[in-house]
Each structure stands twice: as C-alpha cells, then as structure tokens.
C-alpha cells in the first residue's frame, strides 16, 4: 500500500510539473530561436526571397584556399552519379568553346596524386565545395574578418 501511495504521489508531482512547464512555455519551443525565427517546427512560413546572383561582379575570396564561387545561377543543374552539368562547360574539353573557366588540374588527381583522364570521383560533386556567389547578409551576427585583414604590409 505504501509503494502504491508513493507511486501516486510521484505521478501527480510529475503531472503538476508538466502542467507548470506548459504555463511557463506556451509556445512550446523552450525559448530557443532558430534561423527560421521563433516558430513551431510544424508551422509553415513564407519562403525567403531569392538571392541575387550578380554576374557582372566577382566576389573576392574571404579566406585562404576558399574554393572559387560560382558567378552564375545554378538552379536546375543536375550534379549526380548520372550527370554533371558543370562539366558541360568547365571540363578541359569544353571550357574554351564555352568561354568558361577550366576545372583545376587538381580535380584530375586521385588521393595518390596520379593524374586521371577524367575528374576524380572525390572532386566530381562540384556543389559540395563551390557555391553560387550571392549578395546576401550573414545568417547570424559574427565577427569574421576577411583574409585581406590578416595581411601585413
């Protein structure tokens, strides 16, 4: 009987705690705000406006060894096991005719630095490293300094 009474009291204390938590947190997100803002996961909000991709200017690198940014729109580009739209213009075979930048010679080397006839499988999925340049504000506040700020003259 004593164990049953302790179990009932424990359960009632737990239920009171849950009810109290719901009163203190009516939104249910625990005061945490994501990049989407303070909204429930199930809520749908309007999509952000499309970013502007300036073709007439080149955005400089922000850090050493940064992969070059893509200076054009890539919406609808397929980069999969079956196709790589980037190579239609940027492969060594097509670059001159298309007026595009050639893929770096480093992308034709495997892990042992052997030169391959085609782009190395580890460098085939371009969009893992290269992203379209966009004039977009940072998602969160930060104190990042561009690589130029590190130069000593």
Annotated binding site for heme c: 72, 86, 89-90, 107, 126, 129-130
List, as residue ranges, the binding site. 72, 86, 89-90, 107, 126, 129-130
CA distance 87 to 84: 6
Nearest CA-CA partner of 87 in 112, 55, 121, 63? 121
| CA 30 to mean position of chain CA atoms | 25
* DSSP SS3 for 115: strand
Tokens matching residue 101: 């930048």
The Cα-based distances of 152 to 20, 62, 63, 129, 143 in angstroms read: 58, 16, 15, 28, 20
Could you identify the residue written with the tokens 């991709």? 53
CA distance 70 to 91: 15
Integer distance in angstroms from the first to the last C-alpha of the chain? 83
């Amino acid at each position: 009987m004593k164990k049953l009474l302790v179990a009932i009291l424990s359960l009632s204390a737990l239920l009171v705690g849950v009810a109290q938590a719901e009163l203190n947190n009516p939104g249910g997100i625990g005061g945490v705000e994501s990049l989407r803002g303070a909204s429930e996961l199930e809520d749908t909000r309007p999509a952000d406006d499309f970013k502007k991709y300036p073709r007439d200017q080149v955005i400089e690198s922000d850090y050493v060894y940064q992969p070059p940014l893509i200076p054009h729109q890539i919406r609808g580009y397929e980069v999969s096991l079956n196709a790589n739209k980037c190579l239609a213009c940027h492969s060594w075979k097509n670059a001159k005719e298309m007026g595009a930048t050639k893929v770096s010679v480093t992308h034709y080397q495997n892990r042992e630095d052997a030169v391959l006839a085609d782009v190395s499988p580890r460098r085939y999925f371009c969009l893992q490293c290269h992203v379209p340049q966009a004039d977009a504000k940072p998602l969160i506040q930060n104190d990042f300094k561009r690589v130029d700020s590190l130069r000593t003259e």
